[in-house]
């Protein structure tokens, strides 16, 4: 199966040049391996060994692929050193970029959801933009105060593929409070009455591709309008190691638009480029939101059948502590 997508290095095309011409291509660097090459992180690539390709398709918006990562342990030495989950499991790839793996999706989904929702009391109405895999829905549903969970995902293929191949992620759709809308997030936001939501979570891909608009100022203005006073937004906001220029712009835009709190947080996700991902957390004018100190903890009484794997109140607060090189840039926008 793996041979189907072998290309590039074995036929003499330099992979970086190929990637530059076609950043959306599914590329491999070793026969039987998947490699993530993009102009967004030139000169580096993370590769996973492929056991089997489970799905390859082209939607109206992007290339969609699912593969099973190998769980081979190459020799006895390795056995001694591996952790319990020695495989990345199934992997979802959009336009050649890894979106989630079964091993580490918990970090991203739990943090992007609970950082905003644990920062406000009694959230009732939540909107998810993007997040078609359903993982954020799964996490939102842990909050018992919530009455309505709207999701607007542009690409139906992502929803369908997740339901077929990632049942532990797409389980989020099974909650009776969820309303799925397939369509453009910006248009959806513009159509909702002002002040509708307690929280908006923007679970987008990178700013090259269908998610481009979700990193621009007009989008943030639309989000602010849809939030109640003292409502919160959390958006995927790239890597401090790779994309400080993008982050600088997002922070500057958000400080202009959101008159409550504006904070940057980050966490570890091994299969994202540079191993980290950040979040922009903002609140609208109204009751004060102190993002760094959760007022609505969910981990203390976590008696669910699926306990939290990553998030807890300590790591919530820690996520807002930035390395000095990032702190200097972000604070300069204050």
Residues between 266 and 325 with contacts to a second copy, criterion CB under 8 A: 268-270, 272, 274-276, 299, 307-312, 314-315, 317-319, 321-325
Interface with a second copy, residue 102, by CB under 8 A: no
Q: Using CB under 8 A as the criterion, what x/- string covers residues 25-64 for binding a second copy?
A: ----xxxxx-x---xx-xxxxxxxx---------------
End-to-end CA gap in the chain: 52
Cβ atoms of residues 202 and 210 within 8 Å: no
Least CB distance to a second copy at residue 183 (A): 27
Which residues, 111 to 140, sit near a second copy by CB under 8 A?
A: none
Catalytic sites, residue numbers: 203
Number of residues interacting with a second copy: please give it, by CB under 8 A: 80
Stretch near a second copy under the rule CB under 8 A, chosen from 6-14, 130-138, 227-235, 283-291: 6-14
- Nearer to a second copy among residue 31 and residue 167 (C-beta): 31
Minimum distance, C-beta of residue 176 to a second copy, in the bound complex (Å): 27
Could you tell me the two tokens for 200?
A: 């908006």
Site for a second copy in 250-269 (CB under 8 A): 268-269
Among 213, 158, 160, 208, CA closest to 188: 213
DSSP letters, 60-129, are SS-EEEEEEEP----SHHHHHH--S--S--EEEEETTEEEEETTTHHHHHHHHHHHHHTTSSS--EEEEE
Q: Are 131 and 173 in contact (CB under 8 A)?
A: no
Q: Give the separation between CA 136 and CA 297, rounded to whole angstroms.
A: 17
Nearer to a second copy, 275 or 286 (CB): 275
């Amino acid at each position: 199966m793996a041979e189907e997508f072998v290309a590039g290095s074995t036929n003499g095309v330099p992979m970086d040049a190929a990637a530059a011409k076609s950043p959306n291509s599914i590329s491999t660097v070793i026969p039987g391996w998947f490699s993530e090459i993009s102009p967004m992180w030139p000169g580096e690539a993370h590769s996973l060994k492929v056991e089997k390709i489970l799905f390859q398709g082209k939607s109206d918006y992007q290339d969609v692929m699912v593969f099973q990562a190998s769980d081979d342990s190459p020799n006895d030495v390795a056995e001694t050193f591996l952790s319990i989950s020695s495989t990345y499991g199934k992997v979802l790839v959009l336009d050649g970029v890894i979106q989630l793996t079964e091993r580490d999706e918990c970090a991203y989904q739990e943090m992007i959801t609970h950082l905003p929702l644990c920062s406000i009391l009694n959230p009732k109405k939540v909107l998810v933009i993007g997040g078609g895999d359903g993982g954020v829905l799964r996490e939102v549903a842990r909050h018992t105060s919530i009455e309505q969970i709207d999701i607007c995902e542009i690409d139906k293929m992502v929803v369908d593929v997740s339901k077929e191949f990632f049942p532990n992620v797409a389980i989020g759709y099974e909650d009776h409070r969820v309303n799925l809308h397939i369509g453009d997030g910006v248009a959806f936001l513009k159509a909702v009455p002002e002040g509708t939501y307690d929280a908006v979570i923007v679970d987008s891909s990178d700013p090259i591709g269908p998610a481009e608009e979700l990193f621009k100022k007009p989008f943030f203005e639309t989000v602010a309008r849809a939030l109640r006073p003292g409502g919160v937004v959390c958006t995927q906001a790239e890597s401090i190691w790779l994309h400080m220029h993008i982050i600088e712009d997002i922070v500057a835009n958000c400080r202009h638009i959101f008159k409550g709190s504006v904070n940057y947080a980050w966490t570890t996700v091994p299969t994202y480029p540079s191993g980290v991902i950040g979040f922009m957390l903002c609140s609208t004018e109204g009751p004060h939101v102190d993002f760094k100190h959760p007022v609505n903890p969910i981990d203390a009484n976590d008696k669910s059948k699926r306990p939290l794997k990553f998030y807890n109140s300590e790591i919530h607060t820690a996520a807002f502590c930035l390395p000095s090189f990032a702190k200097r840039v972000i604070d300069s926008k204050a």
